[in-house]
Amino acid sequence: MAKIVCVLYDDPIDGYPQSYARDGIPEIKAYPDGQTAPSPKAIDFRPGELLGSVSGELGLRQYLESQGHTLVVTADKDGENSRLDRELHDAEIVISQPFWPAYLTAERIARAPKLKLALTAGIGSDHVDLQAAIDRNITVAEITYCNSISVAEHVVMMILGLVRNYIPAYQWVVKGGWNIADCVACSYDLEGMAVGTVAAGRIGLAVLRRLKPFDVNLHYTDRHRLPEAVEKELNLTWHANIESLAEVCDVITLNCPLHPETEHMIDDAMLAKMKRGAYLINTARGKLCDRDAIVRALESGQLAGYAGDVWFPQPAPGDHPWRSMPHHGMTPHISGTSLSAQTRYAAGVREVLECYFEGRPIRNEYLVVDGGKLAGVGAHSYSAGNATAGSEDAARFGKNR
């Protein structure tokens, strides 16, 4: 029998919900590219429940314990003697989320001799040292497409929030004010602006499709160019590199995976290539950006705004400068963990576990590493290597929050 360690974020501060704002959620059976939604044999939760926190347990306990397996669920993942570290020695499977990542560094993998599967409840497996997983023949999988549209919606919301200066205007209301001039002094129309995405995969393309009705000029760069029919349909301008895109866009949204080749791709030099007063949105990974370069660009006015819900490390230390920099619209990493998305990624985790324990192949589109090499979505989106360096800094959050 297997031991499964599941790392999830903390429950709400006022306790696990006893009721919800809505009675249910729409059922999504397939995604825009035709891929079917997760299809486990069964689920032990009601769609729309809070599943991503500790008490939600991704709806897995009944299933796993009925099969004789041991499930350990914890939010304690960072620092010396964390619960995660104490449980690794005999864990066969580690499940984590991008929103509250269990950083599986080479050192942790070395302390987990029985580890066979690192499973991401969501999209993005850069919290796993992929090279170490390759070397150890550990399977790495994620629930591809489960929350791509969730993130795309969040991107559009953040673009509008920055350009229209929504958050400061809302804060005037909360403070009891009616300061119209203050609210509109930094407010513009999105219409007519040039908006570009760095990567036009599932999320990036979904963002482009949702922005087309806003009558903006759409641009993209991606190492995999979109079909000509899609470019014509959306009136897209393709750029061979990010430098070319940066020079012409008023708004840039980052939707690419994090790996050693993309780490800190947005630095002082890249920011200097952007239009003065551009807006930058990052719902991909915090480490795509040089943390302090973003702060400097906002303070100097090179960037008019920065919004995102990804940080490095996660959770972010209480003194992380992105919490207090000017003209930001940051949120915790929530874009891909709406209650709707949780239903899909929890079902996907159940599907992968059923395949694993029954000896059936895991969907190719879910695989990141398999058989000692990049596979499936991993071969398309990632490069071998390690992007977990520096993750130990997450332990500071517990001291500073």
Q: What is the DSSP string of 93-128?
A: EEEEBTTB---B-HHHHHT-TT--EEEESSS--TTB
CATH of the domain at 348: 3.40.50.720
Residue 314 falls in the annotated catalytic set: yes
**Tally of CB atoms within 10 A around 224:** 9
Based on the fold, state whether residues 142 and 152 are members of the same structural domain.
Answer: no
**192-210 pLDDT tens trace:** 999 999 999 999 999 999 9
Based on the fold, state whether residues 179 and 165 are members of the same structural domain.
Answer: yes
In this prediction, the residues of the chain whose per-residue pLDDT falls under 70 are 397-401
- pLDDT at position 376: 95
Set 285, 327, 350, 363: catalytic member = 285
Residues 6+ apart with CB under 8 A from 387: 126, 129, 258, 259, 260, 263, 285, 287
The answer to whether residue 135 sits within a structural domain is yes
Based on the fold, state whether residues 140 and 187 are members of the same structural domain.
Answer: no
DSSP-derived 3-state class of residue 82: coil
Based on the fold, state whether residues 19 and 47 are members of the same structural domain.
Answer: yes
User: What are the two backbone dihedrals, phi and then psi, of residue 98, each rounded to the nearest 5 degrees?
Assistant: -60, -25
Task: From 241, 252, 263, 266, select the one nearest 211 (Cα to Cα).
Answer: 252
Residue 131 falls in the annotated catalytic set: no
The answer to whether residue 329 sits within a structural domain is no
The answer to whether residue 328 sits within a structural domain is no
Residues in the chain: 401
Residues 6+ apart with CB under 8 A from 245: 196, 198, 219, 220, 221, 239, 252
Residue 84 burial (C-beta neighbours within 10 Å; 0-12, 13-18, 19+): buried
Q: Tokens at residue 300, please?
A: 């100097």
Based on the fold, state whether residues 142 and 158 are members of the same structural domain.
Answer: no
Residue 186: CA count within 13 A, CB half-sphere: 22
Q: Tokens at residue 97, please?
A: 């989320």
Based on the fold, state whether residues 81 and 155 are members of the same structural domain.
Answer: no
- Give 3-state DSSP helix, strand, coil % of the chain, rounded to 5: 35, 15, 45
The DSSP secondary-structure symbol of 140 reads E
- pLDDT at position 395: 76
pTM, whole model, 2 decimals? Answer: 0.95
- Cα radius of gyration rounded to whole Å, the chain: 21
The answer to whether residue 270 sits within a structural domain is yes
- pLDDT at position 400: 52
Which domain covers residue 280, as residue numbers? Answer: 148-323
- pLDDT at position 180: 97
Based on the fold, state whether residues 20 and 115 are members of the same structural domain.
Answer: yes
Residue 127 burial (C-beta neighbours within 10 Å; 0-12, 13-18, 19+): buried
The answer to whether residue 394 sits within a structural domain is yes
- pLDDT at position 77: 96
Based on the fold, state whether residues 203 and 71 are members of the same structural domain.
Answer: no
β-pairing, 217-221 vs 194-198, is parallel
Based on the fold, state whether residues 20 and 155 are members of the same structural domain.
Answer: no
Residue 171 falls in the annotated catalytic set: no
Based on the fold, state whether residues 281 and 230 are members of the same structural domain.
Answer: yes
Beta bridge partners of 194: 217
Set 147, 282, 302, 342: catalytic member = 147
- pLDDT at position 397: 67
Buried b or exposed e, range 386-399, using 16+ CB within 10 angstroms: bbbeebeebbbbee
- pLDDT at position 229: 98
Task: Tally the domains of the chain.
Answer: 2
Set 320, 333, 344, 350: catalytic member = 333
Based on the fold, state whether residues 137 and 152 are members of the same structural domain.
Answer: no
Residue 235 falls in the annotated catalytic set: no
Based on the fold, state whether residues 200 and 138 are members of the same structural domain.
Answer: no
The answer to whether 240 and 221 have CB atoms below 8 angstroms apart is yes
